[in-house]
């Protein structure tokens, strides 16, 4: 089990290049199943989840050519329409092969994702949407068996109107990919507006899909017979960007993000300015200066463009040493406060009541040994380690490697005292 050892107290100064977005790369890799053509992807992040997704696609018969920062997929020889439990259990995003497989091959067997640390995270909306498009779906022995009935015209899914009871990012992505090859028009209502959904739509349109409204809560997809290969550059990771900015706001310093996008981080940038940081954006750079103790800021998570749930834990870390008290309300996941008890071990003063945490800022955290529980919680603990006095050891950092490319190298380059221990 790998750990990170962090000596707290250093300010962060310098430049850091933001990697391609994990949550855009994962659905876009699955789009490779929709065509026999070649899908060439640039700005690919070097992440554990990306490697897992690549292995999942290759075991289905997709060919994958990896170069540094790039990936070329070809779905010409897909011969296995299954996502096995041992691969799905480590990465929920594997559910994103379901829509493409049913749309192009008329059937799929995908393991139900196990629950995960941050909540039960069902996939009922994915299943309901495919059923609305004509797929017959039964759940057996922990697997989703989906089939387009023989009677359906050319065994294709049928376009229809789908209303999401809840905003679901991968639900929207799965059904948008399925609709791209369906017979007729599909309208997704109450669709997710996340930038990663828009990036997937741009890639699908480059492959010949007819999609309007991506980025709004109503997306209209006119199905086509076939999709062809394309080239696409993965968008920058807005959560990695936000994580580095919060780290600098908490530790103090002057950092510049390059290959970043400010337009998809407005809510986070506003909160950082409220905390007292000075933010300057120009082209694809974001600069943050912080030379005083941050002020505590309230956050309430909600679907895009509101405050992202994937930034909640990071802001809580900053609030533990901020001036004043703040409320953090988590409305998306039912169990996304696992980082609280770990922060308390560093001396943080946090009270939790249901989905609301009240954090009373203290002047100093004390380093200790703590344990990462999920991806964004582990980033929160790293930020806390950067500001705690003395040494903090963060255990189980495989969570971190799922979603942050070479984070300790990037933080060390900014002046943090951080090293990986076997």
Residues in contact with ligand EPZ by CB under 6 A are: 22-23, 26, 92-93, 119, 121-126, 166, 168-171, 309-310, 332-333, 375-376, 403
Displacement of CA 177 from its chain's centroid (Å):
18
Beta bridge partners of 127: none
For the record, the structure tokens of 133 come out as 């498009």
Q: How far is the CB of 313 from ligand EPZ (least distance, A)?
A: 9
Q: Which is nearer to ligand EPZ, 121 or 155 (CB)?
A: 121
Distance CA(369)–CA(385), nearest Å, equals 10
Q: Which is nearer to ligand EPZ, 127 or 416 (CB)?
A: 127
Q: How far is the CB of 76 from ligand EPZ (least distance, A)?
A: 26
Q: Which is nearer to ligand EPZ, 14 or 122 (CB)?
A: 122
Query: In 212-323, which ranges are continuous DSSP H helix?
Result: 238-251, 266-274, 312-320
Helix (H) or strand (E) holding 109: strand 107-111
Q: How far is the CB of 308 from ligand EPZ (least distance, A)?
A: 6
Q: How far is the CB of 190 from ligand EPZ (least distance, A)?
A: 11
Q: How far is the CB of 266 from ligand EPZ (least distance, A)?
A: 16
Backbone φ/ψ region at 252: left (φ over 0), alpha (ψ -120 to 50), beta: left
Q: Which is nearer to ligand EPZ, 52 or 170 (CB)?
A: 170
Displacement of CA 155 from its chain's centroid (Å):
33
Q: Which is nearer to ligand EPZ, 60 or 93 (CB)?
A: 93
Distance CA(361)–CA(386), nearest Å, equals 16
Active-site residue list: 116
H helix and E strand count, the chain: 14, 24
Give the number of other Cβ atoms within 10 Å of residue 88's Cβ: 23
What φ, ψ does residue 275 adopt, rounded to 5°? -80, -10
């Amino acid at each position: 089990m790998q750990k990170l050892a962090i000596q707290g107290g250093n300010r962060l100064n310098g430049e850091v290049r933001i990697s391609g977005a994990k949550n855009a790369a994962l659905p876009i890799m699955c789009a490779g199943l929709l065509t026999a053509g070649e899908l060439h992807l640039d700005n690919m992040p070097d992440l554990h989840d990306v490697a897992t997704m690549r292995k999942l696609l290759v075991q289905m018969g997709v060919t994958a050519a990896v170069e540094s920062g790039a990936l070329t997929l070809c779905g010409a020889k897909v011969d296995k329409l299954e996502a096995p439990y041992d691969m799905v259990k480590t990465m929920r995003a594997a559910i994103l092969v379901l829509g493409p497989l049913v749309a192009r091959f008329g059937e799929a067997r995908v393991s139900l994702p196990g629950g995960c640390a941050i909540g039960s995270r069902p996939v009922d909306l994915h299943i309901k949407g495919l059923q609305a498009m004509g797929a017959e779906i039964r759940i057996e022995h922990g697997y989703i068996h989906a089939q387009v009935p023989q009677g359906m015209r050319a065994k294709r899914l049928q376009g229809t109107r789908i209303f999401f009871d809840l905003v679901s990012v991968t639900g929207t992505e799965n059904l948008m990919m399925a609709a791209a090859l369906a017979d007729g028009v599909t309208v997704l209502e109450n669709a997710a507006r996340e930038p990663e959904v828009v990036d997937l739509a741009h890639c699908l349109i480059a492959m010949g899909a007819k999609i309007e409204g991506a980025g709004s809560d109503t997306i209209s997809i006119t199905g086509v017979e076939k999709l062809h290969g394309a080239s696409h550059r993965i968008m920058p990771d807005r959560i990695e960007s936000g994580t580095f900015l919060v780290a600098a706001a908490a530790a103090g310093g002057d950092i510049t993000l390059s290959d970043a996008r400010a337009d998809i981080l407005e809510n986070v940038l506003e909160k950082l300015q409220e905390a007292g940081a000075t933010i300057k954006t120009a082209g694809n750079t974001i600069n943050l200066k912080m030379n005083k103790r941050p002020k505590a800021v309230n956050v309430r998570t909600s679907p895009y463009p509101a405050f992202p749930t994937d930034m909640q834990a990071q802001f809580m870390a900053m609030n533990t040493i901020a001036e004043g008290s703040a409320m953090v309300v988590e409305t998306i996941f039912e169990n996304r406060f696992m980082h609280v008890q770990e922060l308390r071990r560093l001396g943080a003063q946090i009270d939790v009541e249901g989905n609301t945490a009240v954090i009373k800022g203290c002047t100093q955290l004390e380093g200790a040994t703590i344990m990462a529980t999920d991806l964004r919680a582990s980033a929160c603990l790293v930020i806390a380690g950067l500001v705690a006095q003395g040494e903090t050891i963060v255990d189980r950092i495989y969570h971190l490697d799922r979603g942050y490319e070479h984070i300790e190298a990037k933080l060390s380059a900014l002046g943090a005292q951080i090293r990986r221990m076997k």
